Amino acid sequence: MEKKIQFLVRQWKNENVDQESKRIDAGSDAPAFDKELETIWQKAGNYKSKSFEPDVEANWKKFQSKIQEPPSQENVPVRRLVPRAWLVAASIVALLVTAWWVLNTNSTSSGIDSVATNKRQTKKIELPDHSVVWLSNNSELSFDPNLKNSKVRNVKLRGEAYFEVQPNPGQPFRIETPHGLIEVFRSSFNVRALQTEPQTEVQVMSGQVALMGKGDNKQRIEVPANFIGYIPKIQKQPSKALSNSNQVFASTKVWRTRKIELVSRTLGEAQEIMRRYSNYRLEFSDPQLAKCIFTWNFELDKPESSLKLLAKTGNFHLEKTSSTVFRLEGKTCPK
């Protein structure tokens, strides 16, 4: 049969068939072979392939049984999961610690409270004894939180501040500066105590203060209202001068209001006020012009308009030599 099948295949392909194959095809069993092929062909035509139909229900049950099995201990990595409640609690603790740190950045580790300002800040502070302090820019005030119950109300100042001290005869109020001590019972006054300057300057507005030097310089002098007191370096004694003299005019309002009314004050004092409390500078063509006395209003943050009015009043020539420097030219003070 196999040879006959090969013979038929070669015939279907139009291939040459040898004599032996023809002889096989012409043999006595050819009709039987043809009948057999016909039977196979009919059976093949009656065959119907069955398409694949998955058993969904059985497979789902198999999957469920798999995931409900306890995991093998050796195949599961050990992980400790933090509960959500613990994460929330940890976040709250972190926020509280941060808030505590922010609120205490101005406190020292020794239990002393400290308030500081930068170059653009001024602050009003009410002390525990209800005394009030206005702190200028680039300044720092330190004090005991238990100040109200202390025998001596001690504070420490670096920079400039204006004080209104609550009276208490049994509890003197003392201010330590880089140059010495200021003792107060009841008074309002301005203190300028910069480490970069050679002295502490105190302008008394009301009441009376006492000034004392440091080290061996223990001399005590009392400074009444309308006077300016000075605590110089250790080798010199404290001193005082009338505030309406030709001394430097340390107005308590200048750095708080940024404006000042100069009543019968010298141009030299205006020059010093600009140096202390602004980025602007005033120069004179003749040093004698610093002694000229004027009454005028001065605005620190807009000095050009104020200086133009001064120049017009005094018959001066005003020149702006740079973005921050003004030059006042003239021969004599107006009479």
Question: Does 230 lie in the same domain as 263?
Answer: no
Contact 128, 165 (CB under 8 A): no
Q: Is residue 87 part of a domain?
A: no
Q: Which residues of the chain have pLDDT under 70?
A: 1-110, 215-218, 235, 243-252
C-alpha span between 329 and 294 (Å, rounded): 16
Q: Is residue 15 part of a domain?
A: no
Predicted local confidence at residue 36, as pLDDT: 65
Count of beta carbons in the 10 Å neighbourhood of residue 222 = 14
C-alpha span between 78 and 7 (Å, rounded): 72
Question: Does 167 lie in the same domain as 213?
Answer: yes
Question: Does 207 lie in the same domain as 119?
Answer: yes
Q: What is the pLDDT of residues 206-252, one digit of tens each?
A: 999 999 987 665 688 999 988 889 998 776 788 887 765 545 555 66
Q: What is the CATH number of the domain that holds 133?
A: 2.60.120.1440
Q: Is residue 135 part of a domain?
A: yes
Backbone Cα Rg of the chain: 51
Helix or strand holding residue 174 (H, E): strand 173-176
Predicted local confidence at residue 118, as pLDDT: 92
Question: Does 233 lie in the same domain as 132?
Answer: yes
Question: Does 211 lie in the same domain as 134?
Answer: yes
Sequence letter at residue 142:
S
Q: Is residue 54 part of a domain?
A: no
Q: Is residue 300 part of a domain?
A: yes
Q: What is the CATH number of the domain that holds 292?
A: 3.55.50.30
C-alpha span between 276 and 323 (Å, rounded): 18
Question: Does 127 lie in the same domain as 232?
Answer: yes
User: DSSP letters along 224-252, please?
Assistant: ETTEEEEE--TTS--EEEETTSSS----S
- Answer with the one of 242, 277, 292 that is the final residue of a domain: 242
Contact 205, 188 (CB under 8 A): yes
Sequence letter at residue 43:
K
Q: How many domains does the chain have?
A: 2
Question: Does 203 lie in the same domain as 159?
Answer: yes
Predicted local confidence at residue 102, as pLDDT: 47
Contact 205, 190 (CB under 8 A): yes
- Answer with the one of 182, 207, 242 that is the final residue of a domain: 242
Predicted local confidence at residue 238, as pLDDT: 87
Question: Does 227 lie in the same domain as 182?
Answer: yes
Structure tokens at 203: 């302008």
Contact 257, 274 (CB under 8 A): no
C-alpha span between 6 and 33 (Å, rounded): 13
| Cα separations in angstroms, 53 against 57, 59, 179, 190 | 12, 12, 101, 99
Question: Does 229 lie in the same domain as 127?
Answer: yes
Q: Is residue 215 part of a domain?
A: yes
Its domain, for residue 281, covers: 258-329
- Answer with the one of 242, 270, 292 that is the final residue of a domain: 242
As a residue count, the chain comes to 335
Instruction: Enumerate the β-bridge partners of residue 140.
Output: 116, 158
Question: Does 280 lie in the same domain as 232?
Answer: no
Q: Is residue 224 part of a domain?
A: yes
Predicted local confidence at residue 136, as pLDDT: 93
Question: Does 280 lie in the same domain as 179?
Answer: no
For the entire predicted model, the pTM comes to: 0.61
Torsion of CA 281, 285, 287, 293, to 10 degrees: -80
Question: Does 210 lie in the same domain as 140?
Answer: yes
Contact 310, 284 (CB under 8 A): no
* Angle, vertex CA 86, rays to CA 82 and CA 87, nearest 5: 80
Predicted local confidence at residue 5, as pLDDT: 59
Q: Is residue 40 part of a domain?
A: no
Q: Which of 200, 205, 239 is nearest to 219 (CA)?
A: 239
